[in-house]
Amino acid sequence: MVNNQIDPEEVSQFPKELIEEGEGQSEPSDAIKISESLYAQILKMSVSEKIKLATVGNREARNILIKDPNRTVVTAVINSPKLKEEDVLSFATNRSLSDEVVKQIALKKEWLKNYRIKLALIVNPKTPPSVSLRLLGHVMEKDLRNIAKDKNVNSLVARQALRELGKRGKI
């Protein structure tokens, strides 16, 4: 049986700054210090602790964990019930994240309903061309033109964007 409830015992094993969503820091320097402290705490965790934290942690913790080299941790972040579309959009636009993150996002149909996420995946160089090509048919003309001109986009995807414009009679 799958339990979608978060176990309070699991939550209590983590410091509150990794679990509670912050409303904003008063000083930017305080936010940087807290972020460095959270990063240090997460670095010391085992893989199983990171996976649990990915499920119950706050946005700051997920933003740190999404960069983890372990694919299982990354998958746990992507499957977190607390993950919001704005977080996914941020991940999809971040070109420094691993290609595994992009692949995981592309597998979630509910996120591909969001036009901005779809577009971010297409222009992200780490997105597999097969995924980008599949999404091109759902892009507006203006964005197709930008994709065709973008030097950071895979050349195969840029050429297909031009072809798509030709099909629509917009060249």
- Span 117-127, mean pLDDT? 95
CB 61 within 8 A of CB 17: no
- Give residue 136's pLDDT band: very low, low, confident or very high (50, 70, 90): very high
Helix (H, G, I), strand (E, B) or coil at 76: helix
Q: Give me the sign of the Cα torsion angle 127, 133, 137, 143.
A: positive
Q: What is the pLDDT of residue 39?
A: 86
Say if residue 1's pLDDT is above 70: no
pLDDT on residue 62:
94
Condensed to tens digits (0 to 9), the pLDDT of residues 139-166 reads 999 999 999 999 999 999 999 999 999 9
Closest CA relative to residue 70, chosen from 102, 46, 95, 35: 46
Average pLDDT score over the chain: 86
Name which of 107, 82, 80, 76 is nearest 92 in CA terms. 107
Instruction: Report residue 52 as tokens.
Output: 């649990």
pLDDT of residue 85 exceeding 50:
yes
pLDDT digits (tens, 9 = 90+) for 20-63: 666 544 455 555 565 678 888 899 999 999 999 999 999 999 99
> Which pLDDT tens digit goes with each residue over 99-121?
899 999 999 999 999 999 999 99
Structure tokens at 37: 């402290």
| pLDDT mean over 77-97 | 95
* Position 80 pLDDT exceeds 60: yes
